[in-house]
Amino acid sequence: MAAHGTADTRVEAEPLKVEMRILLLLFLGVLFYDGCGPAVARMDNSNLAVPPTEGMPTPAKEKKIEMEREALAKLVDKADPVVAAFVRDPASSIETYDLSVGNGSIYRISKFAPTRMLINYIGVVDGKEAIVLTGNADSFVRFAHEARAMLGRSEERLEYGRAYLLIAVAGSKRLQILDSINSVKPRPMLNEQQTETFRRFQEQYEGIVKPPSCAGDHCTFYVVSGQDLALVDLTISATGEVKMDKRVLEPDLLIPYAM
């Protein structure tokens, strides 16, 4: 009887082993098979890894940047020590302004403040003299003269006039050069009457406001200056002297308030 019982136990155990193998195979199939095609191979991510230092300045590059910052600050020291300190501030960003003025270069120095961006523009002539240009029309023209600017084409006068307005006229105040009246956006939360007033304003100037243009030495710009829509006429000589006439077309626009 004992022998018979042992045989029965072996017979019952064999199907159990077979079922265990089947379950194991099913489990492996679920783990490595996507249900619609061949088994999914394990992806090698080694070629996708980005080295942690990629794109970061090397010590040599950082040293070069700081040397250039200090060289610019030393030039500015002679013109304005306060602006020179702004240049030296590690939080300040230094960029080259995209405008060719004779043998001079313009630098844009910017830094985030709690409420707005702080910006200074500096003109450098021959790498030897720095002139602070921010909000100073006379300094801008002197920079052009000392850099021996030659503005022979209308396109050159147009870009010079644009820079003159944004750097020398606007300074730290709002001045937006317009291509169309659609560039002027209403401030949020206008009531129904104000919304209708702004719509009529845009409709009125839709065919009037046009992109900047130059004919000879005369250039025309439609701008938002502070809270006003204005027309600015610039007469620009070949050597960079500027005569400006500004006429306010619509005061107190329903746009966000300038900081």
Domain boundaries along the sequence of the chain:
58-149, 175-259
pLDDT score of 43 = 33
Angle at CA of residue 162, ends 257 and 233, nearest 5°: 85
| CA distances to 164, 217, 238 from 160, in Å | 6, 11, 10
The 8-class DSSP code of residue 129 comes to: E
Q: Decide if pLDDT at 220 tops 90.
A: yes
Please give the sequence-ordered ranges of beta strands (E in DSSP) within 50-172, or none if there are none.
93-96, 104-112, 117-125, 129-132
Helical residues (DSSP H) of 184-238, grouped into ranges: 192-205
State the fold for domain 58-149.
3.30.720
Over residues 54-72, the mean pLDDT reads: 75
Q: Which of 5-9, 33-37, 175-179 is predicted least confidently?
A: 33-37
Cα distance between residue 17 and residue 37, in whole Å: 29
pLDDT score of 11 = 43
pTM score above 0.85: no
Asked whether 101 and 125 are in contact (CB, 8 A), the reply is: no
Length of the chain in terms of residues written: 259
Residue 31 bridge partners (DSSP):
none
